[in-house]
Amino acid sequence: MPAERTAAVEIGLNAAIVAVTSRSPRILAVSDEHGNSRDGLPFGPFDPARHRTFENSLRDSVEQQTALDLGYIEQLYTFGDQGRHRMAGDSSTHMVSVGYLALTRTDAENNARLAEAGAHWRDWYSYLPWEDWRQGRPLLIDQLILPALRQWEQGGHQEERLGLPQRRTRIRLAFGLDDFPWDEERVLERYELLYEAGLVGEAIIDGRAAPGNTPPLGLTMRHDHRRIVATAVARLRGKIKYRPVIFELMPPEFTLTDLQATVEAISGRHLHKQNFRRLVEGAELVEPTGMLTAATGGRPAALFRFRRQILDERPAPGLRASYGK
């Protein structure tokens, strides 16, 4: 009896690196050495002969590719679906990728080094434009997404029509229809729904859908990197509610207005100014520095810093803000 063929497996590490600049949430994208015009995430293979842990290997790969020193980092998920990393000339090796969320701060010096390394910051709402509710419900949802999803909901084959109730429920949950509120943490569910409906470019490239009348939504990324971005956005939106990771994105000293803008940038939701300030003061997450800044262009504003003692006083300090519709 012939021996059963076993495919080789390679472990790769992808990083969704997040920074906030000019009150916009940014994802670090890298150029493709093969000339691919689509954005990709920093990536490197895991070499157990060189690195003891995945995290050490990822930090080393990111530093080599982007000259960026990462701060906070956490593992997201393992992405190993068949066909997730196809490209011309691929061997039989199957790529399993471990995705990471990393937070950092950026400045002019860092940006210059990133440009030299072929990396650039991209507003994450350019990949996921339906997620930005800071100015209210995006027109894109009602004008393009929901009509296309309702058409997909009806299906074309008998087996697809059998799944109509499930599709309808998924759409209602994901996009906050009828009695369901918009849940800012359902980022991955929304992206996967749009992928299944063939509304994002990756579904067309992967051969899962044919080009339709609706142009692909958001910027298309290489392989399944936009799925990793969606996973990272969802994780961070949930994380800021119970851990003070938002301060990993802030400078050492900041105004409360800047802090609010950063929380809004990540959550994609508008916050009432006075309610936010009461929340921050009640949570005792910040303390005044005693200094003022005139950089706001108006009246001098008080500068604050993260009160690190809170980590020893409370098990889960975060900013569990209440968002309106």
The tokens for 77 are 């998920």
Looking at the structure, tell me whether residues 182 and 115 fall in a common domain. Answer: no
Look at residue 154 and give its three-state secondary structure: helix
CATH number, position 249: 1.10.10.10
How many other CB atoms are found less than 10 A from the CB of residue 324? 9
Tokens 């956005």, residue?
A: 233
The H-assigned helical ranges of 129-200 are 139-140, 146-154, 158-161, 164-175, 187-196
Of 100, 126, 152, the residue at which a domain comes to its end is: 126
d(CA 83, CA 206): 8
Tokens 């490209």, residue?
A: 87
CATH number, position 21: 3.90.79.10
* 321 is a domain residue: no
Total domain count, the chain: 3
| Radius of gyration, alpha carbons of the chain | 22
Looking at the structure, tell me whether residues 168 and 136 fall in a common domain. Answer: yes
d(CA 110, CA 148): 41
d(CA 232, CA 218): 17
Looking at the structure, tell me whether residues 63 and 100 fall in a common domain. Answer: yes
* 140 is a domain residue: yes
- What pLDDT was estimated at residue 87? 46
Kindly give the confidence (pLDDT) of every residue in the chain, 325 residues in length, as a single tens digit, with 9 standing for 90 and above: 555 555 677 888 889 999 999 899 999 998 766 556 889 998 888 888 888 888 888 888 888 777 777 888 999 988 766 544 444 444 556 678 889 999 998 877 777 778 777 788 999 999 999 999 999 999 999 999 999 999 888 875 545 555 567 889 999 999 999 889 999 999 999 999 999 999 999 999 888 887 777 788 999 998 889 999 999 999 999 999 999 999 999 999 999 999 999 999 999 999 999 999 999 988 899 999 999 998 777 789 999 999 999 888 877 788 877 665 5
d(CA 128, CA 265): 13
Range of the domain at 145: 130-218
* 227 is a domain residue: no
Of 82, 108, 126, the residue at which a domain comes to its end is: 126
Taking CA atoms, 313 is separated from 271, 285, 287, 309, in Å, by 26, 11, 15, 7
* 224 is a domain residue: no
Looking at the structure, tell me whether residues 261 and 293 fall in a common domain. Answer: yes
d(CA 323, CA 182): 10
* 150 is a domain residue: yes
Looking at the structure, tell me whether residues 112 and 178 fall in a common domain. Answer: no
